[in-house]
Structure 1
């Protein structure tokens, strides 16, 4: 594609293949055929030119879009946009319509035209009937490269348009003011030859592609899309610069350095902070130590209560559970429990089977803790089974 676009400067401009126009739609728009598919010649014997198959025409459409950029292709009256460039001929070059969209179809390349009110009225009135395109082509092969424009005309004439086109690109090698403008736009010195111009155009296209990729776009992105993406990136960079405490015009390297410095300053002081994994492990160790400690205290307290006659030996497991659950409640119970007799301590009811009476010590526990005797019997029975 880049070689094709670069060849535009050395290609000839031609107009041919007049298209019979139908009246515009109610909204002033109409699809018109701009060039046919395959090989064709002009009325005055020019050509042959070729647009190739549908895939080749897709390339022509892509070249045309890249060539036109963000501007629409113009349709003028009687090729005045071309004749106006010829000294002594002149012309107003008013627009009759604008080509808003291109499509490669099986029978050729078509364009969706938005007609002006005047052109629409003229076509409906029969004042204009034909459409004649102007396109770039490779002079040696006749291969169509891109479409430049089209004109409303009643006498499409290949020779006249070809002469007018030669005034723009005489001998296929622009010179004089036009060439100077091209060289200036490309940043080249006066007198640069065609090879230098082609190389500059290719470099420009390569740069545009690189910018599009850097902006997160596809290689085929249009100029306005690239501009919008770059403007967005510049806006974001300005925000980053402000956030980093720098001027809006700060360079990217300065912004990166400032952000890296801010991150480095935000690192925690290892003397003041402990990794969360170590904190979690320490908490688990403390919990285990607490369990061990309270278990030891429960064993000591229950053994003391049994020794002092405050708790029957058969209730040891129950006493351990109570202490581990609520030490104060256990201490309250043992503090207010009567001292058991020797008989009560030596003959406890360990089975708690249905129908068996509880001992006085067990009844005393029920009374102190508000436990129903049947619940106590069930507990003792469960312990015996265990």
Structure 2
């Protein structure tokens, strides 16, 4: 069952009379039901007060009474939330729920001094408003709690315990600053503007959910189609790169063979120039170099043969060529 925690200030929960000289040993926790109406207009049902007592007894421990519901608001933030007293027993009196209280000295003195006059129960209720069990209570004068489940607006003046509160007393408004900030509104936005902003958020959320469930086919494609298209693109890119390599290799081989046939480079130096052409911009540099080289030999049918053995010393012209190519005399002689 979904449950929620709430607090309420009822018109009959005064704990200090005009002439009281001691803190009361018994306090009223809930007025007689079944319909309970808090002073801010909220409603609950106390259909089975005996079950509330049974839940208290099953808990096996007294329930705290604190100051201004500090157990609900300060304790979760690690702040001090001392007890003012402890509810040790409960009983039904004419349909109302009463509790026996052991007050702390400090709280008893404050009650006698009328520094606190009212008790506000904190309780667990079902989603439909049925009170299930008591969680504790707080000494209060004018509650204005901040948590959504506990927030309420109360009269700025404490009512007399013997009379119902007038319905025309002014109310202390809830602090909606944080809510306005979250909605992007000015801090003083009206309730109508806040509700309108909430409705806009709901509409935007519904639109987003609908769009996610049925995406626009002009902007989105199924994942399988996307993966297949990417695979095809990768295959095409690989094939294109391979074809480009073949074309480049053919261009390099053609340029080298042209240089050999022209007598500008030795046939045995093909691999050296092929490595040069493999570098970035290498083919262009090779063509520029060939344009500056003199003819070092006429083409013959011996161009592809190894004539390295028995070579004589290089001529001055051959040394000049070897220097331009960055080759030693021995390396050049081996390729000549």
Normalization by structure 1: what TM-score?
Answer: 0.36
| More helix as a share of residues | 1
Normalization by structure 2: what TM-score?
Answer: 0.40
